[in-house]
Amino acid sequence: MSPLAAAAIAAGELICQFDDGHRRGYLAQLAGDKPQVEAVLLYEVRQGGDGAVLDSRRAGRRSVAAREDAGLVHLIEDDGASVRVTTLVGCSRWNLTGICTRFDARHAWHFDARARHEAGASFLRQPSGASTGACEPWRVDPR
């Protein structure tokens, strides 16, 4: 298990905020447009590769599969023929005891159903308009 996966499982619950991916273009930067919050997601990550998600854009709790591939952690939600994938790509902030308190992340909704089995390869084929953001542990105090 990679350090990133261990940190995500240790956190247990992650709250993630993603900016609107299509507004990151060059013209938006020239116009001075600030990124808009596209989604807030609350993930429960459990040992064994399963979990759940609450999405600010949709009602109800949904199941997710947690997959580790090439040092990245992929949280994959089936949505009919498509998938919604949040990928933790690294840790950008640690506390004094060395625990990750902020994960850099990307989120995409796409039709690459191979993400369920080849999460790393699917991440490389992720749409260019994928949303960028960050995830933080819901609880920051030790249990």
Q: How many domains does the chain have?
A: 1
Beta pairing class for 131-137 and 82-94: unpaired
pLDDT-based confidence at 105, cuts 50/70/90? very high
CATH label of the domain that carries residue 35: 2.40.128
> Residues 80-94: what's their mean pLDDT?
89
φ and ψ of 125, to 5 deg: -95, 10
Greatest extent of the chain over all pairs of C-alpha atoms, in Å: 46
Rounded distance, CA 50 to CA 29, Å?
A: 38
The pLDDT tens digits for 16-39 are 998 876 555 666 667 777 767 778
In a domain, 142, yes or no: no
- Chain Cα centroid distance, residue 84: 9
Residue 47 has pLDDT above 90, yes or no: no
| Residue range of the domain that includes 107 | 3-137
- CB-based contact 113:121 (threshold 8 Å): no
In a domain, 105, yes or no: yes
In a domain, 143, yes or no: no
- CB-based contact 39:24 (threshold 8 Å): no
